Amino acid sequence: MTIHREGYTILSVSAIIMIALNAITFYTLGSSHWLFLSILVICIVLYLLFLQFFRYPKRDLTLGSNLVVAPADGKVVVIEEVYEGEYFKDKRLQVSIFMSPINVHANWYPIAGLISYVAYHKGKYLVAWHPKASTENERSTIVIQKDDGREILLRQIAGALAKRIVYYPHQNDKIRQCGEMGFIKFGSRVDLYFPLGTKITAQIGQKTTGGVTVIAEM
């Protein structure tokens, strides 16, 4: 288990602040004072939560040219036919994966191919499972084109606690399946949009492991 690079700054700054706060209360109140002990326990718990949030596990990744691998850890909460109005402007099959604060929040590319579209949108911070989160929350949109010309769209969506979406691709980048796509800080969702007729292997309520679980075939 390692720490994701997106956590280096937050973890370092948090450690400095917590150490300083505890040092001040220790020298002011003493080691046996209830306030010092309370602050110490709270800081330890918070820092352990930060560590687990930014963890970046090593995994045996699933690869296959006809497989679509889950881009995130979480739970499948939506599988439905919808109208996608930003890029395709037609009907698509949507699969949504909700990521709770205790999930790993790194994101992986579900397929290999060419990045044909990238966009970032500022927005609100509705709870990630809200129906309007896909179009009103802070979000990024990434479209990957396979060698055969078919495309899938991924949308990283910030949740009520998330304040920053990080994505690494640029338009026309060639990317590999299960390569690192980005990171969403503190609660979020990832939507995928497939061509109609795509074989979806995921099921509602299924737990996914990013880079490992197969959610579709195309």
Percent composition of the chain: helix, strand, coil (DSSP 3-state, to 5): 20, 40, 40
Contacts of 119 (CB under 8 A, 6+ apart): 86, 140, 141
CA atoms within 13 A on the CB side of 66: 4
Q: Which residues contact 144 (CB under 8 A, 6 or more apart)?
A: 109, 110, 111, 113, 114, 115, 116, 151, 152, 154, 175
Backbone angles phi, psi at 52, to 5 degrees: -70, -30
Q: How far apart are CA 68 and CA 62, in angstroms?
A: 9
- The residues annotated as belonging to the active site are 188
